[in-house]
């Protein structure tokens, strides 16, 4: 595949990722992520 095509594929995937992330942010996912991330994950430290 030519350089141009390969760069386009990568760029397209990258932009797709950004769009997904933006959609998630608009859907308010960051608040949900923070709700869990701001509290100690008990299982992660070996409890429960």
Partner 1 sequence: MKRLLAQIGFFVLHNPYLQNFFSGRIYDGKLKGFCAPGLNCYSCPAAAFSCPIGSLQNFFRGTGHNISLFVTGFLIAMGAAFGRFVCGFACPMGFLQDLIYKAPTPKFRVRLRKLSYFKYIVLAAFVIILPFSVRDYLSGLGYPWFCAYICPSGTIFGAWPLLAANDFIRGMLGALFNIKTAVAIGLITMALFINRFFCRVLCPLGAIYAMFNKISFVRINHDKPACANCAKCSESCNLRLDPVKESSHPDCMRCGNCVRACGEKALKYGTINKSN
Partner 2 sequence: MLKKVIIAITVFFCSFMFLSCDSWFDMLGNVSADAPTEVLTTADNETGSFPFEFTAEDIFGETVTRDDLSGKEIYFVHLWATWCGPCIAEMGELAEVAEMYADSVGFLGLLTDYYENRAGAARVAEANGVTFMNIPDRTPGLETVRQMVQSGFIPTTIIIDGAGNMIGGQLVGAKGLGYARYIEEALETVRSGQ
Binds 10, which of partner 2, partner 1, none (CB < 5 to 8 A, cut-off by type)?
partner 1
The angle, 0 to 180 degrees and rounded to 10, between the axes of the packed helices 29-37 and 3-26 is 80
* Ramachandran sector of residue 34 (left: φ over 0; alpha: ψ -120 to 50; beta: rest): alpha
The nearer residue to partner 2, 9 or 37, going by C-beta atoms, is 37
Query: Considering only residues 1-40, where is the footprint of partner 1 by CB under 8 A?
Result: 3, 6-7, 9-11, 13-14, 16-25, 27, 29-34, 36-40
* Ramachandran sector of residue 43 (left: φ over 0; alpha: ψ -120 to 50; beta: rest): alpha
Mark 19-48 with x for binding to partner 2 (rule: CB under 8 A) and - for no binding: --xx--xx---x-x--xx-xxx-xx---xx
């Amino acid at each position: 595949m030519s350089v141009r095509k390969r760069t386009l594929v990568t760029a397209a995937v990258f932009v797709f990722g950004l769009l997904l992330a933006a959609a998630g942010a608009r859907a308010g996912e960051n608040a949900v992520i923070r709700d869990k991330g701001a509290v100690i994950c008990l299982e992660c430290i070996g409890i429960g």
